[in-house]
Amino acid sequence: MFMRIDHVGIACHDLEEKIAFFEQTFELTVVAREVNIEQGVKEAMLRIADGEGGGSYIQLLEPLGPDTPVGKFLAKRGEGVHHVAFGVPDVVQAMDKIGGRGVRLLDERPRHGSMDSSIAFLHPKDVGGMLTELVQASERHAKPTPNARNADT
């Protein structure tokens, strides 16, 4: 069912500061940036590798406010790994299968994710304490344009 680790989402207080750290320390490149109102985040994707059907990334997440999933996470736990996202070929099919196996779905239907992907979350309490995201990549997600440092998408 899982094709790859699509991304690791990291919650931070200051997106620009964290981008600079990841670029300078690990020589990663930002390939997309987005403000996702529905999810309450400002985020950046830094490419690790390309792959068939989708790449893999570090996703840096700054909350748009305290009363958002990432805002609440930061208040409770501080900065750190917020979720792990797995690439799937068909997110609706994966939701049906996983939901049918007793794991709580946090989304009734797929939502808009980074780089036009379709995403859905699974309850962390049902996945060993790990907030888990399913990602069906778009073509753009699989082959992002490099150097989107200042391009909000």
By CB under 6 A, residue 118 contacts ligand MC0: no
Residues 19-58 within binding reach of ligand MC0 (CB under 6 A): 36, 39, 41, 43
Is residue 137 packed enough to be buried (19+ CB in 10 Å), middle (13-18) or exposed (0-12)?
buried
Question: Distance between CA atoms of 12 and 17, rounded to whole angstroms?
Answer: 9
Contact criterion met (CB below 8 Å) for 99 and 121: no
Give the phi and the psi of residue 122 in degrees, each rounded to 5.
-110, 145
Residue 22 or 121: the one with the smaller Cβ distance to ligand MC0 is 121
Stretch that binds ligand MC0, among 14-22, 25-33, 66-74, 88-96 (CB under 6 A): 66-74
Residue 58 or 119: the one with the smaller Cβ distance to ligand MC0 is 119
- Tell me how many residues contact ligand MC0 (CB under 6 A): 24
By CB under 6 A, residue 140 contacts ligand MC0: no
